[in-house]
Amino acid sequence: MTPDDAAPPMLQVQDLTLAFGGVKALNGVSFSVKPGSITSVIGPNGAGKTSVFNTISGFYTPVSGRMVFEGQDLAALPPPKRAALGLARSFQNIALFRGMTVLDNIKLGRHCHLKTGALGALFYSPAARREEEALRQEIEERIIDFLEIDHIRKAPVSALSYGLQKRVELARALAMKPKLLLLDEPVAGMNREETEDMARFILEVRREWGVTVLMVEHDMGMVMDLSDHVVVLNFGQVIASGLPAEVQANPEVVKAYLGAGDVTVLRERFQAVARAGKARAAQKVA
């Protein structure tokens, strides 16, 4: 699946402003996400990246601005309603139930789509049992196989490595049947092998599942390799937006990362990580 430039945006963020007391975390942020794209939001620490995600998800209420998902204004919708529309996300800090198994954690992602009412679920009616069995079969045959975690599906999350926990969190988000997948630092804290695996899964989610991806990430090599479009934030404002090559050459972006230093330094660093990523990809193909 490739981005459809002729199609209307799947998500439009327009003049979004978010404040905590007298401090503006976001100040007039605007950008759009094309269907079928991988769009990355980058910026220095404290630039407002996770605040954008929390506002789109419904955890924060903006002071002003609009968020329109497939033509529907999200302003009045609580987080569960947004999830039911097809918005799913992962978190910067892993938000799994550590005492539950991998399978049970993943199944929780589908609750926003279940048809069984509270009474039927309480008494585990035949309808609830059938729905549960169908859900488990789909998760085991599609999501668990896709993410290569069949060997840990019965293990408690607390027993897993950090990298596997991040993979389980992605599985739970996929169980929500997303149209737009919001990934908040999906490879933070991972080693090189885990990062390459996660990058491969993200590409395949877009290509094989038809899911559009909006990603916050600090790994510039991964951002430049995967993204169709990059949005750069600094101090809660958009300072650049465009193709990866355009963004990495933008003097304002370089200045945001380096301050008043030599603007050629970060540009060279961006180019170096991009070349290294392409070299790794070529080695895998060979």
Indicate the number of domains in the chain. 2
43 touches 252 (CB < 8 A) = no
Domain of 78, in residue numbers:
11-86+178-285
Same domain, 155 and 208: no
Same domain, 207 and 277: yes
Rounded to whole angstroms, the Cα distance separating 92 from 230 reads 19
Same domain, 199 and 277: yes
- Indicate whether 239 belongs to any domain: yes
Q: What is the pLDDT along the chain (286 residues), one digit of tens a residue?
A: 566 667 899 999 999 999 998 889 999 999 999 999 999 999 988 899 999 999 999 999 999 999 999 999 999 899 989 988 999 998 877 778 888 898 888 888 666 555 554 434 444 556 666 666 666 677 777 888 899 998 998 899 989 998 899 999 999 899 888 999 999 999 988 899 999 999 999 999 999 899 999 999 988 889 999 999 999 999 999 999 999 989 988 888 888 876 644 445 555 666 666 666 666 656 655 5
Rounded to whole angstroms, the Cα distance separating 8 from 71 reads 9
What is the CATH number for 243?
3.40.50.300
Q: Which of 171, 200, 234 is the last residue before a domain boundary? A: 171
Same domain, 184 and 167: no
- For residue 71, give the DSSP letter: T
Same domain, 51 and 74: yes
- Indicate whether 91 belongs to any domain: no
pTM of the predicted protein model: 0.81
Rounded to whole angstroms, the Cα distance separating 113 from 115 reads 6
- Indicate whether 166 belongs to any domain: yes
